[in-house]
Chain A
Amino acid sequence: MERSPPQSPGPGKAGDAPNRRSGHVRGARVLSPPGRRARLSSPGPSRSSEAREELRSRLLGLIERSRVVIFSKSYCPHSTRVKELFSSLGVECNVLELDQVDDGARVQEVLSEITNQKTVPNIFVNKVHVGGCDQTFQAYQSGLLQKLLQEDSAYDYDLIIIGGGSGGLSCAKEAAILGKKVMVLDFVVPSPQGTSWGLGGTCVNVGCIPKKLMHQAALLGQALCDSRKFGWEYNQQVRHNWETMTKAIQNHISSLNWGYRLSLREKAVAYVNSYGEFVEHHKIKATNKKGQETYYTAAQFVIATGERPRYLGIQGDKEYCITSDDLFSLPYCPGKTLVVGASYVALECAGFLAGFGLDVTVMVRSILLRGFDQEMAEKVGSYMEQHGVKFLRKFIPVMVQQLEKGSPGKLKVLAKSTEGTETIEGVYNTVLLAIGRDSCTRKIGLEKIGVKINEKSGKIPVNDVEQTNVPYVYAVGDILEDKPELTPVAIQSGKLLARRLFGASLEKIYHTLFWPLEWTVAGRENNTCYAKIICNKFDRDRVIGFHILGPNAGEVTQGFAAAMKCGLTKQLLDDTIGIHPTCGEVFTTLEITKSSGLDITQKGCG
C-alpha cells in the first residue's frame, strides 16, 4: 500500500496493478464501500488517494477476470450498439453502467488514467483494451475482435496451483471441470529427519487421515478392554504392534496418493512434482528433485502451500526431535515420549500414544488448546491425565541431547520453568515437537510479484474472494490470514464477539455431564463426558457456542453446526426430539444453566 502514486500500466498488463486488493466486482457493486478487510492503520497515502487506488485495483481485477468488460452508460446509443454486437456474437459481457452507480464519475476518471480514453463505451476483451464503439466495430470488421475473443491468453496455463494439498487439489479439479487448462506443482521438502511423502498435502499424509486412524487404533484398545465386559472372552495380555499399524496406515495413504494422481490425470490436470516459485509476473520456476528448472506461465495463480511444523530453535531440536511430519511413518515404536506443546496436534498425538500403552509426557508452556473454549480444554486435559498422560505445566525445553543411538534411541531433555529459575531434566526415547506450524510462503518468490504477506505470521491476507493484493493471485487453505471459515474458529470468534459486544453476563450457558450408554456396562467412568451450549439472551437465546466432550464428538457436532448456520435457538433445541439412546440427545434436554450452580452430575436415565 505504500506504493508510489498511481501509474498507468498498459491495459493488457494488469499484473502491474497498484498494490491494493480488489473486491468483488459485479455490476454496480464495484463501488460498494471497501471490503471489510480493508486496513485503516497503514500510514502513507491519504484516504482519498487510497480509495482511488482501491477502486483502480478493483477495476483491474474486473478486467482481469472477465472475457469482455463494457464500461457503458445506459442511455448512450453507442454503448447499446456495442452491447448488441457482442450479444449477436453470443458472447457474455460484464457491463457496468456508469450512470447507474453512485461513483460513476470517479470510475470514468480512473478509467481514463488507465486507458487514456475519457468516453464511454470503453471496451476490454480478454484483458486487452479495444477502445470505444468505433474501434470495436473496426476490430470486428478486420477479424481482430474475433481473434481476441478466441485467444484466451498467451500463457501456458489458465491456472497454476502451487501446492497439492486438500485446498489446491480441489481447486485444480474444479477449474479443470470448468474447462480450464490447469497445472499443479507439488513438492515435499523432506523434514529435518528426512521424512517426505506423496501428493495430497498435510491432511492426507501427515495430518487428519493418519491421525484419525491412529486415534481409531487407540480407541480399539479401549474397545478391547470394554469387550470383555460385554461377554467377549480372551485372557491373554493384548499387545500393540506399532509396525503393523503404521504399515497398514501408510498403505492406505499410498492408495490415497495414487488416487489423487489418478483423478488429476482423469481431469487432464498437469501434475509436476517440482518446487514452484515466482520469478516474475505470471511466471513461475519449477525445480524438480534433480535440480532441473522449468518455467511456466499462467493467467492466474493459486497459492496453496500450507504449513509445516515449527521447531524450537534450541540446541539439538532439528537433529534429535521429530514432529508430526515424521511420527505417522516412524518405522519403530517411539517408546517413552515427550510431547512438547499443547496444540490440538500435541494433545491428539499424546492421546493415541498413551492409548497404545506408551509412557507419555506433555510439556506445556502456558495453556492447553489455545483458541478453544478453556473450560473444555481443561476437561480434555484432566481426562487425559486420568488415562495416564503426564503433564509438565509451565515448562519449556532448552536443550536436547542424545544419550544413545537406536530405534528408538535415548534423549536427554533439559527444560526450564517459565515462572522461575527451576530447571528439570528427563530421559525419553522420543521427543515430539508440536508447538505450532509455519506458513510456507517465504521461499516462493512472492516478493518478486509483490504479493503481500503478514511479516510476522507469514500468512497471506486475502479479501472475501480469496484474492491477494495482486489481482491474478489467489490463496487458499492454512496460509490464509484470519479466515474465520473453520468451524471451531467460527464458533470461538462468534463467542468472543458476542462477549465484546454485550459483555459476558448477557450470555446464558447450559451444561450437563453425561454417561454414554456404551460406557455403563463397560464400567467406564461416569460424569466425565460434558455438553455445553452458549446462548445469546438478547437474540432470542440464539445458540452461539456448542461444545461436547465425549465419544464420536465429530459425528455429533457436524449436524449442530449446520443447525447453527440456520439460526439455532435454545427453544428449537428444546422442541427437537432426541434420538434415543445416543450422546447427541443430551442437547435436546439441557435444563441447568451454569449460573444456577445446580448439580449436573448424572444419577439415572432422564
Chain B
Amino acid sequence: MAAMAVALRGLGGRFRWRTQAVVGGVRGAARAGQRDYDLLVVGGGSGGLACAKEAAQLGRKVAVVDYVEPSPQGTRWGLGGTCVNVGCIPKKLMHQAALLGGLIQDAPNYGWEVAQPVPHDWRKMAEAVQNHVKSLNWGHRVQLQDRKVKYFNIKASFVDEHTVCGVAKGGKEILLSADHIIIATGGRPRYPTHIEGALEYGITSDDIFWLKESPGKTWHPTDVALECAGFLTGIGLDTTIMMRSIPLRGFDQQMSSMVIEHMASHGTRFLRGCAPSRVRRLPVGQLQVTWEDRTTGKEDTGTFDTVLWAIGRVPDTRSLNLEKAGVDTSPDTQKILVDSREATSVPHIYAVGDVVEGRPELTPTAIMAGRLLVQRLFGGSSDLMDYDNVPTTVFTPLEYGCVGLSEEEAVARHGQEHVEVYHAHYKPLEFTVAGRDASQCYVKMVCLREPPQLVLGLHFLGPNAGEVTQGFALGIKCGASYAQVMRTVGIHPTCSEEVVKLRISKRSGLDPTVTGC
C-alpha cells in the first residue's frame, strides 16, 4: 500500500536510534543477569503496548517486537495491533459514518434543508479514517520512545525459553534475551481454505478498512461481522450476510435476534442456514458465489463485488516456535494456555490478549490484564484480573451494549425459578421527530428473584449503547440490586433513564412497551 510506505519512510529520520538498538541487540543467548532486557513483549497491540509502557514506568528495561504479516490480499499496517489498525477504531469510525448517513436523512425533519439522497464517497471516508489510524500509529511510537522502550519491527520466534530471534529488514538476524517474556501476538481472521476461491478472491476485516475503493455489493459469510455489514449497508451498499447458524454466539439470544431484525428492516439481506461452496471470478470482474441451502439441500448462486470472510479468528502462534520455549497451546484452538496469573506452562513466559485461551477478545481486557500482570511482576502487586462482568458493546447500526450474564446463562446458572427479568420497549426521543422506527429499541435487566434482587446482567439495544452501558457496569461491579437501580433518579430525557424505570417483569406477562413520558 503506497500510503503506508510513504508514512513509514517519513518516520525513518526520527527513528535512527533503532539501528543502534539493533546492533546492541545482537548478542548470544544470555545467562540470567546478563540478559538484554528485564521484559520482552512479543506483539505491539493494545495488550502488549500496555505491558511495555507499564513496565517502563516502573523503571524496567523493556523491548517490544512487532511485525505485521501482510494479509493474503497484501494489506499491512503500523504499530498498535488489531484494535487500532483493523479493529475497534476504524470500525467505530466507519460505523459513525453510517450513523451520520442516518442523521442526514433525519435532518430535514428537524428543519435542515438538505437535498436527498446524499451520495457517499468511500474513498474520502477511507482516507480520513486511515489518516487517523496512522496518527495513532505514530502516537504509539512516540509513547514508546518517550518511555525509553526499545521497539523492533521484526518477526520474532523463540530460540530458547529466554531468547527470541528475528530478521530485520536488511536481512540481519537479531537475538533478544529477557528475564520475562510476554506473548501478545493476538489473532488474525480465519480463511475457509477448503472453499475454492476463498483465499484468492475473498477479503477479511484485515483488508476492508484499508480498501481504497468502495467494496460495492458485498457478501459476508459470517457469524460475527454484523458490525461491518451494518456500516456497509449504512453508507448505501448492497450487503448480504450468510449465516450458518445463530448470530452473535455467546450473547443474549433475544437481543441478538433483535439486532438482526433491525438490520434486516434497514436493508441488509440475510441468508440463514446456508454454507458457501465456491467463489469464482466472472469475466466482467465480479465474483460469483455458490452456496448450499442446508435445509433444502439446493445450490444457489449470486454475484457480488466483494466477498468478506468473517468466520472467526485464529491466534498468531504458529510462527512463534513456542515448542522451543516449551509453551503449551490448546490443541483445538492453538491458543496459549495460561493460569489466573496469565503465566504459561513456562513460569517466566506470560500471555495476554486474544492469543490466550478462554479470554474475551476485547481491547480493554487485554490492556487491564497486561497492566495488572506487569504490576505483579515489577510493582509488588498481587492483584489478579477479574474476568467477570466484562462490559462490551456491539456497534451494529442499532448498538447493543451488555454487561454480565445473558438471560440464558442466568437461567442455566440459577434456574428459571430464581431469575427475574425486567424489560421495556422504548422510543428514543430523537426518533420521534425524525419519524424513525423504534421497534427494536429494547432494554432488559436480568436479576435474581430473591430480594434484594441482585442484578446479574444488563442488555441495552439502542443509540449510544456503549455510553449507556459503561456506568451500569460499575453498578454491577458494586453489587447493585434491582432495588438500588430503581432508587436512582433518571436523567431526562435520555435513553439510559429507561434502565432505572424498568418496572415490568417478563414473568408478569404485561406489555413492556413504554408509553408516555
A contact set with B: CB distance below 8 Å: 166, 169, 200, 203-204, 208-209, 212-213, 216-217, 220-221, 223-224, 226-227, 229-234, 236, 238-246, 248-249, 252, 256, 259-260, 263, 356, 485-487, 490, 517-518, 520-521, 552, 554-563, 565-568, 572-573, 575-585, 587-588, 603-606
Pairwise interchain contact B139-A572, C-beta atoms closer than 8 A: no
Main secondary structure on chain A at its contact with chain B? helix
Instruction: Find the A residue at minimum CB distance from B363.
Output: A580
Q: How far is the CA of A605 from the CA of B137 in the complex (A)?
A: 9
- Across the interface, name the chain A residue whose C-beta is closest to B390: A577
| Contact across chains for B478 and A568 when beta carbons are under 8 A apart | yes
Q: Tell whether A203 pairs with B488 under 8 Å between CB atoms, given A242-B111, A517-B89, A517-B92.
A: no
Contact: A213 with B496, CB < 8 Å?
Answer: no
Query: Residue of B at shortest CB range from A546?
Result: B471
Across the A-B interface, the 4 shortest Cβ-Cβ residue pairs: A559-B471, A604-B139, A584-B470, A231-B125
CB within 8 Å for A566 and B479 given contacts A227-B100, A230-B128, A554-B494: yes
Among the 9-residue stretches B112-120, B152-160, B259-267, B304-312, the one with 4 or more Cβ atoms under 8 Å from chain A is: B112-120
In angstroms, how far is the closest chain A Cβ from the Cβ of B138?
Answer: 8
Contacts of A605 in B (CB 8 A): 80, 84, 89, 136, 139-140
Evaluate contact between B93 and A521: CB separation under 8 angstroms: yes
- A224→B112 contact, CB < 8 A: yes
The answer on a CB contact under 8 Å between B114 and A234 is yes
Q: Interface residues of B, CB < 8 Å — how many?
A: 94
Q: Which of these binds chain A: B102-110, B169-177, B180-188, B200-208?
A: B102-110
Can you name the residue of chain A whose Cβ is closest to the Cβ of B141?
A604
- How many angstroms from the CA of A588 to the CA of B477 in the assembled complex? 12
A577 and B517 within 8 A (CB): no
Contacts of B474 in A (CB 8 A): 559-560, 563, 568, 572-573, 576, 587
B471 touches A558 (CB 8 A): yes
A485 B470 Cβ-Cβ under 8 A: no
CA distance A578 to B390 in the complex (A): 8
Could you tell me the distance in whole angstroms from the C-beta of B85 to the nearest C-beta in chain A? 11
Contact call B111/A245, Cβ cutoff below 8 A = yes
Judged by a CB distance under 8 angstroms, whether B149 is at the interface is no
Are A224 and B114 in contact, with the CB atoms below 8 A? Answer: yes
Having A224-B107, A231-B122, A233-B124, one finds 10 other A-B pairs with CB under 8 Å, namely A230-B93, A230-B128, A238-B107, A244-B111, A245-B111, A521-B128, A559-B473, A560-B471, A577-B365, A577-B473
B392 nearest CB neighbor, chain A only: A579
Contact B466 A584 (CB under 8 A): yes
Partner of A236, one of B107, B109, B115, B126: B115
A169 to B517 Cα, complex, angstroms? 10
A-B contact count (CB 8 A): 293
Q: In the complex, which of the residues B113, B139, B364, B494 contacts A578, with contact meaning CB atoms closer than 8 Å? A: B364
Cα-based distance from A224 to B109 in the complex (angstroms): 13
CB distance from A96 to the nearest CB of B (A): 27
Kindly state the separation between the CA atoms of A578 and B469 in the bound complex, as whole angstroms. Answer: 10
| B470 proximity list for chain A (CB < 8 A) | 556, 559-560, 578-579, 582, 584-585, 587-588
- Contact A563:B477 (CB < 8 A) given known A233-B121, A579-B392, A604-B140: yes
The answer, yes or no, to whether B472 is at the interface (CB within 8 Å) is yes
* Residue contact A556 to B125, C-beta cutoff 8 Å: no
**Minimum distance in angstroms from A272 CB to a CB of chain B:** 19
B429: interface (CB < 8 Å): yes
Known: A217-B111, A226-B100, A605-B84. Contact between A561 and B471, CB under 8 A? yes
Question: B484 touching A562 by the CB < 8 A rule?
Answer: yes
Q: Is the CB of B362 within 8 A of A580?
A: yes
A345 to B343, CA, bound (A): 56
Give B129-155 interface residues, CB cut-off 8 Å to A.
Answer: 129, 131-132, 136, 139-140, 142-143
B197 located at the interface, meaning its Cβ lies under 8 Å from any Cβ of chain A in the complex: no
CB closest chain-A residue, reference B138? A604
Instruction: Report which of A224, A517, A572, A604 forms a contact with B143, defined as CB distance below 8 A.
Output: A604
* Least Cβ–Cβ distance between A489 and chain B, in angstroms: 9
Measured between beta carbons, the chain A residues less than 8 angstroms from B345 are none
Known: A555-B496, A558-B496. A220 touches B112 (CB 8 A): yes
Chain A, residue nearest B89 (CB): A581
CB distance A583 to B111 under 8 Å?
Answer: no
Would A557 and B491 count as touching, CB distance under 8 A?
A: yes
CB pair A579 B516 closer than 8 Å: no
- With CB as the reference atom, state the residue of chain B lying closest to A523: B128
Q: Could you tell me the distance between the alpha carbons of A236 and B362 in the complex, rounded to whole angstroms?
A: 42
B232 to chain A, nearest CB (A): 12
Nearest residue in A to B140 (C-beta to C-beta)?
Answer: A604
Would you call B472 and A559 a contact (CB within 8 A)?
A: yes
Cβ contact within 8 Å between A203 and B471: no
CA gap between A205 and B346 in the complex, in Å? 67
A200 contacts across to B, CB distance below 8 A: 517
Q: Quick one: closest A residue to B143, CB to CB?
A: A604
Q: Chain A residues with Cβ under 8 A from B493's Cβ?
A: 208-209, 212
Q: Which of B370-418 contact A (CB under 8 A)?
A: 386, 390-393, 401
With contact pairs A231-B121, A232-B104, A572-B477 given, residues A565 and B488 touching in the complex (Cβ less than 8 Å): yes
Closest to B235 in A: A231
B507 CB-CB contact with A under 8 Å: no
CA distance A236 to B116 in the complex (A): 12
Report if B467 contacts A (CB, 8 A): yes
Given contacts A234-B115, A554-B491, A562-B480, contact A579 B432 (CB under 8 A): no
B364–A585 CB distance below 8 A: yes
The answer to the question of B55 belonging to the interface, with a C-beta cut-off of 8 Å to chain A, is no
In Å, the complex CA distance between A223 and B114 comes to: 12
Shortest distance from the beta carbon of B29 to any chain A beta carbon, whole Å = 35
Q: B437 within 8 Å of A by Cβ?
A: no
B495 touches A (CB below 8 Å)? yes
Contact across chains for A558 and B499 when beta carbons are under 8 A apart: yes
Residues of B within 8 A of A576 (CB): 391, 473-474, 477
Q: Beyond A485-B489, A573-B474, is A518–B469 a contact (Cβ under 8 Å)?
A: no
A227 with B101: CB separation less than 8 A: yes
* A256/B516 in contact, CB under 8 A: yes
B471 touches A204 (CB 8 A): no
B367 on the A face (CB < 8 A): yes
A575 to chain B: which residues have CB within 8 Å?
386, 477
Q: Would you call A248 and B433 a contact (CB within 8 A)?
A: yes
Q: Provide the residues of chain A in CB contact with B294, threshold 8 Å.
A: none
Q: How far is the CB of B369 from chain A (nearest CB, A)?
A: 9
Determine the chain B residues whose CB is within 8 A of the CB of A204 once the complex forms: 517
Chain B residues whose CB sits within 8 angstroms of the CB of A245 once the complex forms: 110-111
The contact sample of 26 A-B pairs, CB cut-off 8 A, is: A203-B492, A213-B432, A216-B433, A217-B110, A217-B111, A220-B107, A221-B112, A230-B96, A231-B122, A232-B104, A238-B114, A252-B432, A485-B489, A521-B128, A521-B131, A554-B494, A558-B497, A561-B471, A563-B478, A572-B478, A576-B477, A577-B390, A579-B364, A580-B362, A587-B474, A605-B89
Tell me the minimal C-beta distance from B265 to chain A in angstroms.
22
A260 surroundings in chain B (CB, below 8 A): 516
Q: Give chain A nearest CB distance to B40 CB in angstroms.
A: 22
Residues on B with C-beta less than 8 A from A223 are: 100, 103-104, 107
Q: Cβ of B140: which chain A residues have Cβ within 8 Å of it?
A: 604-605
Q: How far is the CA of A566 from the CA of B124 in the complex (A)?
A: 46
